[in-house]
């Protein structure tokens, strides 16, 4: 399966722990895929990565065109998911975001088309939704959240309780403290 990915995404540099190109990296640990970092790629679906769903711990996609995220829910071992400057023709995934039991960090940033996030999670500690069009957190149920970043978006107040919250990053220009 790795040979298919190497060819499809031009991952020509091979070492013991990495397969990479100028734009993308697949990190291996004991010959198992544990992390993918893709930049400026057209990804039709996550099906290419499903053979690694049991071992993949981190996904970082930067400026990628993502046609179909429906298989994201199959990556149950994820600890970190970062989607930055990505385009999504179908935004349904954000209306009912999968609950990943091991997910600690979720970053959905720099995408003004993302205007809703409906998520419940008992594992997420860090949520970054900066530079999106999300205007409220009423559908965000993350009781163990320790860090929340909402800079450069339109949240004017936080109408949820996050009992474990330690760090909050917001823009104060329009923020309502009452």
When divided into structural domains, the chain yields a total of 1
Domain membership of residue 36 as a residue range: 2-169
Residue 176 domain flag: no
Say how far residue 104 (Cα) sits from the centre of its chain. Answer: 11
pLDDT at site 108: 96
Q: Strand order in 126-128's β-sheet?
A: 13-14, 18-20, 25-29, 32-39, 58-62, 80-84, 105-109, 126-128, 147-149, 167-169
Residue 58 domain flag: yes
Residue range 53-67, pLDDT digits in tens: 999 999 999 999 998
Residue 12 domain flag: yes
CA dihedral in degrees (112, 115, 117, 118; nearest 10)? -160
For residues 14-33, give the mean pLDDT.
Answer: 94
Residue 79 domain flag: yes
Q: What is the DSSP string of 49-105?
A: GGGGTTT--EEEEES-EES--GGGGG-TT-SEEEEES-B-S--HHHHS----TT--E
Residue 18 domain flag: yes
Residue 177 domain flag: no
Of 59, 112, 55, 52, which is closest to residue 81 (Cα–Cα)?
59
143 vs 133: CA distance, rounded Å: 23
CA torsion sign for 10, 12, 13, 16 is positive
Say how far residue 64 (Cα) sits from the centre of its chain. Answer: 12
The phi and psi torsions of 73 (rounded to 5 degrees) equal: -60, -20
Tokens in use for 150? 């909402």
Expressed in percent and rounded to 5, the helix, strand and coil fractions of the chain are 15, 30, 55
pLDDT band for position 72 (cuts 50, 70, 90): very high
Contact partners, residue 73, CB within 8 Å, separation at least 6:
98
81 vs 159: CA distance, rounded Å: 25
pLDDT at site 175: 59
pLDDT at site 177: 57
Residue 132 domain flag: yes
Output the domain CATH number for residue 160.
3.80.10.10
Residue 178 domain flag: no
Q: Rounded to two decimals, what is the model's pTM?
A: 0.92
Residue range 98-156, pLDDT digits in tens: 999 999 999 999 998 898 899 999 999 999 999 999 888 889 999 999 999 998 887 77
């Amino acid at each position: 399966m790795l040979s298919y990915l190497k060819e499809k995404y031009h991952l020509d540099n091979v070492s013991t722990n990495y397969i990479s190109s100028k734009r993308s990296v697949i990190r291996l640990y004991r010959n198992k895929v544990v992390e993918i970092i893709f930049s400026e790629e057209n990804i039709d679906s996550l099906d290419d990565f499903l053979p690694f769903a049991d071992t993949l711990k981190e996904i970082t996609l930067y400026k990628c065109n993502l046609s179909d995220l429906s298989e994201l829910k199959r990556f149950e071992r994820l600890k970190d998911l970062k989607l930055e400057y990505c385009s999504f023709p179908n935004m349904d995934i954000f209306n009912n975001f999968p609950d990943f039991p091991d997910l600690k960090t979720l970053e959905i940033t720099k995408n003004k088309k993302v205007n809703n996030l409906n998520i419940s999670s008992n594992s997420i500690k860090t949520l970054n939704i900066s530079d999106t069009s999300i205007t409220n957190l009423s559908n965000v149920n993350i009781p163990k959240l320790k860090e929340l970043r909402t800079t450069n978006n339109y949240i004017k107040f936080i109408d949820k309780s996050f009992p474990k919250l330690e760090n909050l990053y917001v823009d104060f220009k329009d923020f309502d403290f009452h």
